Structure 1
């Protein structure tokens, strides 16, 4: 049975308070593949009340009970992985193979990490005669984006369940279908009524009501910096904890002793992956002045080898971007790059040849980019790479840090110690050294306007905990 026109509240699928529908558009076809119910403040009130009531019991659930629940969720998630991949491909355009190999496993990995952490986490700690205990923060509002839907849902829901919190999830209305399957998975896993609730809808009607709700203790938001600012303002009046994972404009520094062929190939492919729709994508490629032509030639070749097309085709490298709004924004920024004087190396405005329908963007490479250009400062969120030349190491570090963002960064050098030294000077929450991959046991999050707080691993788990000091827990000698 389809639950597209229902919300999951207090352990049941129920109709919305008002009959409003939102179309879910398949970006490869520019056609609706589903409609979903659109919620409002009354639905938020109902879901928050269910979560508040459930918190009194679930917060006291034993470690073993929480582990059993997460283990059941993982088992059912695995069984429904093909459905999840199909939903992601249809709702946000990821190639089906990429959805199966990257999107679905990313969500699974966070659930597994939550289990691993919960097994051994020490909630109590004695300091002198004081007991320091860590308790679940309460009712959590979770607002997630469309670009990595399952990854962002699971990296919030997994640790929240492990910590003993209850929650209301508002997935992106652009890509909500995988979230509904996720809710079905939790229902089948016998999540206690009210612990996990889902309301679909847009930011003004649901997101703002959730962020400002007096009975919500924490908001965990992933999305644009603009939307994150609105969430923080809505949350301010009730002084709730606000956790934000926002935008990025990540520098990728190639030092002169790097293996240029390997590093550029890796960096360009990482920039284009997921159609460039990743907040931590290495979109600013910083290279020595005298190597720029060599780098541009490699980047051009990789761009031209990238196959843009039908997400269901096995040969497709990247699919469309998610929506007409995103497509138009990306096209405007590509045009701005040309108008502001950057050298167009590959791609450019318009759809790739032979693709007349769908929000497809040509893999685009610019060289001779200055860091004050729009394409170097704005988060494009499409398959667009900017190559910025630098004079020396100090100049590279200056350019890397000359941004309002500070999410991720990348440094490649033939000397690992040198790469480490440069990494310590970059104002970002993450640095990938010599092409290294991320680690879900580590901390994910940024500096500056890339947000606050951390996700992944123990660091993300602790965001859902409050710290209490019980003085005199041990009897003092008289």
Structure 2
């Protein structure tokens, strides 16, 4: 593996541009690596290789495809320590978070995709026809920086298992995990051109992939604005699109619920990974006459999150991923104060050169405030109040987003409330993530699903053959 090269057509090759992107450790600010700044010519080479490989790869027996992927997943599992250390270094994530949030769940999910591929009904008999599901073709994968392994795994693993060829462009800020995957794919013995890695900037490599006439599908994860731009380019020649975009997810606290558990659940999404999570439960909706109770729990629980050496298992908070992220979150905190929201905990972070932002919780927030409507992507929680459950549901649904949500309350009422939320995922009380279930959003949170059978189906086309 040579991180100063691209992986195209089964080989490590120089970029046509001969320029490089510095990779910064957000914790130490050290430039610890450089990767190629790929360009349109590199994309053309990768797509040509993928297109040529697809002519035969699409007909490769399922048993062979799953056997190759099992080698890859076994390789990733054997390099668990390498993955954890790499994610800690490129993302600034505490070691414990890199292991338990960024690595282990998605090795598990990759294994589940293999099970799905083995048992998927690729042909189904109807009355006078057979409905066949077959690979889409050449898939362009565009992944974000906040979950380096997860977002790559959710695209590359099902796409290859389904018989597609892939050109992957990882984030320019966290590309190192992609190199580990590329090396394991190479070791597994995939045919040349089936998987290709082109690093670079989104406005160059990403745009070139999205607009390329020989790319059949784009699977993108990122902000809603960036997803909209990618979609416009992709629709220039009517590509298939899968978009996992932004969120401003609400957690509704009902009277009589286990609020200690609820606060734990909310803070785990808002504080871990520095709040840099698209499905973080960043809006907390509580009964108007019980705000004092919830504020005491919030102050006590939020105190459990703290900075420290990233290799210390007790450290729960790391720096934000970049100077750009720090400036963005700092501006939103200033905006919240100027809007009249009350700081329950936290402060405007000091601009001292670090990217550290201590947990911030705003109270007295109204639904029309910017901090209640826009995705902040930092460790910032806003608390809103409601008078009736109907009003809580209305506030929760009053968003351009619909990615995730949660309800904490008496079981029957909580489940009824969950079913009225217009969002792709809802956690009820102690509900836990399931690698067999789909993930994705309503409204401007995206198109399509990742994970489970539904996430696998995204990488298949449907053909009807009338034969009777």
CA distance in 1, matches of 2:53, 2:67: 18
CA distance in 2, matches of 1:317, 1:54: 44
Question: Residue 441 of structure 2 corresponds to which residue in structure 1?
Answer: 446
Indicate yes or no: 2:346 matched with 1:350: no
Question: Residue 393 of structure 1 corresponds to which residue in structure 2?
Answer: 389
Matched position secondary structure for 1:305: coil
CA distance in 2, matches of 1:82, 1:369: 42
Question: Residue 140 of structure 2 corresponds to which residue in structure 1?
Answer: 141
Indicate yes or no: 2:464 matched with 1:469: yes
Matched position secondary structure for 1:99: helix
Question: Residue 420 of structure 2 corresponds to which residue in structure 1?
Answer: 425
Q: Is the 8 A contact 2:97 2:272 kept in 1?
A: no
Question: Residue 307 of structure 1 corresponds to which residue in structure 2?
Answer: 306
Q: Is the 8 A contact 1:30 1:359 kept in 2?
A: no
Alignment deviations for residues 112-133 of structure 1 (CA, whole Å, 9 cap, x no partner): 0111101111100111121110
Q: Is the 8 A contact 1:311 1:319 kept in 2?
A: yes
Q: How many residues align?
A: 468
CA RMSD after TM alignment: 1.2
Question: Residue 4 of structure 1 corresponds to which residue in structure 2?
Answer: 3
CA distance in 2, matches of 1:269, 1:245: 21
Matched position secondary structure for 2:237: coil
CA distance in 2, matches of 1:274, 1:49: 37
Alignment deviations for residues 280-312 of structure 1 (CA, whole Å, 9 cap, x no partner): 111001000111121112112222221123322
Question: 1:323-342 residue pairs with structure 2 within 5 A?
Answer: 323-342=322-341
Q: Is the 8 A contact 2:360 2:379 kept in 1?
A: yes
Alignment TM-score, normalising by the size of structure 2:
0.98
Q: Is the 8 A contact 1:307 1:318 kept in 2?
A: yes
Decide which moves more: 405-414 or 256-265. Answer: 256-265
Question: Residue 317 of structure 2 corresponds to which residue in structure 1?
Answer: 318
CA distance in 2, matches of 1:47, 1:110: 27
Q: 1:305 to 1:356 in 2, by over 3 A?
A: farther
Indicate yes or no: 2:93 matched with 1:94: yes
Question: Residue 398 of structure 2 corresponds to which residue in structure 1?
Answer: 402
Q: Is the 8 A contact 1:30 1:357 kept in 2?
A: no
Question: Residue 429 of structure 2 corresponds to which residue in structure 1?
Answer: 434
Indicate yes or no: 2:25 matched with 1:26: yes
Matched position secondary structure for 1:237: helix
Alignment deviations for residues 21-65 of structure 1 (CA, whole Å, 9 cap, x no partner): 111111111221111111010000000000000101111011110
Matched position secondary structure for 1:55: helix
Indicate yes or no: 2:409 matched with 1:413: yes
Q: Which of 425, 437, 453 is matched with 1:458 structurally?
A: 453
Indicate yes or no: 2:49 matched with 1:61: no
Question: Residue 172 of structure 1 corresponds to which residue in structure 2?
Answer: 171
Gap runs ≥5 in structure 1: none
Matched position secondary structure for 1:39: coil
Alignment TM-score, normalising by the size of structure 1:
0.96
Q: Which of 374, 377, 387 is matched with 2:373 structurally?
A: 377
Matched position secondary structure for 2:303: helix
Question: 1:119-198 residue pairs with structure 2 within 5 A?
Answer: 119-198=118-197
Q: Is the 8 A contact 2:8 2:46 kept in 1?
A: yes
List, as ranges, runs of 4+ consecutive aligned residues in structure 1 with deviation greater than 3 Å: none
Q: Is the 8 A contact 1:142 1:169 kept in 2?
A: yes
CA distance in 2, matches of 1:278, 1:435: 20
Q: CA deviation at 1:265?
A: 2.7
Gap runs ≥5 in structure 2: none
Question: Residue 362 of structure 2 corresponds to which residue in structure 1?
Answer: 366
Question: Residue 267 of structure 1 corresponds to which residue in structure 2?
Answer: 266
